[in-house]
Amino acid sequence: MSRLATPIRKNDNVLVITGKDRGKRGRVLKVDPDRNRLIVEGANVIKRHTRPNPQRNIKGGIVERESSLHASNVQLVCPECGAQTRIGHKILGDGRKVRICRKCEGVVDK
């Protein structure tokens, strides 16, 4: 399967724009480019019933954890202007290709 080019990367701050967690902001914990999905901290929390497993030191009960969201349901939050934005690309003078904010033209990459 081909990789889909999602402009959102791990540790980016994003805003959920649709679904039951609309309006929540969080950090991207994991990106799955093959399925174009990502896990956002504090968003799309599900309850998982787990069986105890003493060998793996897992206690049983109901565990809450984040489930994945489709990348189209989130938008990047610009670290400079703080607004939700689309992502553009720009080649700097030293030859690096960086992601930029479409609103303030600020560089998103560190």
* Ranges for all domains in the chain classified under CATH 2.30.30.30: 1-77
- Report residue 91 as tokens: 């080649």
Question: In 1-110, at which residue ranges do the beta strands (DSSP E only) sit?
Answer: 13-16, 25-32, 37-40, 45-50, 61-66, 68-70, 74-77, 84-85, 87-91, 97-101
Domain 1-77, CATH number (from 3.40.50.300, 2.30.30.30, 1.20.210.10, 3.20.20.60): 2.30.30.30
pLDDT score for 109: 83
**pLDDT above 80: residue 1:** no
Average pLDDT, rounded, for the chain: 91
Residue partners of 62: CB distance under 8 A and separation at least 6: 47, 48, 49, 50
Tell me the two tokens of residue 108: 């998103």
- The whole-number average pLDDT for the span 29-45 is 94
Give pLDDT, residue 100.
93
Q: What is the pLDDT of residues 41-88, one digit of tens each?
A: 999 999 999 999 999 998 999 999 999 999 999 999 999 999 999 999
